[in-house]
Amino acid sequence: SIRVAHAVGAGDMPTARRTGIAAILLGATLMAACAMVYTTSGLWLARLFTNDDAVAELAGTLVTIVGIYQISDAIQSVSLGALRGLVDNRVPMIANAICYWLLSIPTVYFLAFTAGWGAAGVWLGYLPWMILTGLFFLWRFLKITSTP
């Protein structure tokens, strides 16, 4: 946010764009590394913290699911930060609220309770919100910073 805002304040939109893209790529790359660890080692990581097999199984499953989140979460979070640097807050707030309340909450409820997936359903239900808002925020940042 700060580096994007600094470039915008200096009237240098190309630098703001490059800075935002670099941050988004760095965030996605770092989270891809985390995702590889989480998705391949969920049960092992869970067993570091508990000897209870049932707890380890559930935690291992949830850690693996969280691994799926990592890249989309990085894109969503860093793109939103870049938009804040552009002082673009209103549209992302509305998009976030709509996707969260109209998409995620019903999906979470359906997967967790109706489909009977429990905790895994909760985590999987948030994934569409994370992906859609991440893609929207990225698109919006690229659109606003594009040169005419």
DSSP class per residue in 87-101: T--HHHHHHHHHIII
Q: What's the pTM?
A: 0.91
Contacts of 128 (CB under 8 A, 6+ apart): 99, 103, 104, 107
- Report CA torsion sign: 21, 23, 29, 31: negative
Look up residue 14 and give its two tokens: 């190309």
- Scanning 48-117, the segments in alpha helix (DSSP H) are 53-85, 90-98, 105-109
User: How confident is the chain (148 residues) per 10-residue block, as mean pLDDT?
Assistant: 97 97 98 96 95 96 92 96 97 95 96 97 94 96 92
pLDDT of residue 69: 87
Q: Give the largest CA-CA distance in the chain.
A: 59
- Report CA torsion sign: 93, 99, 100, 101: positive
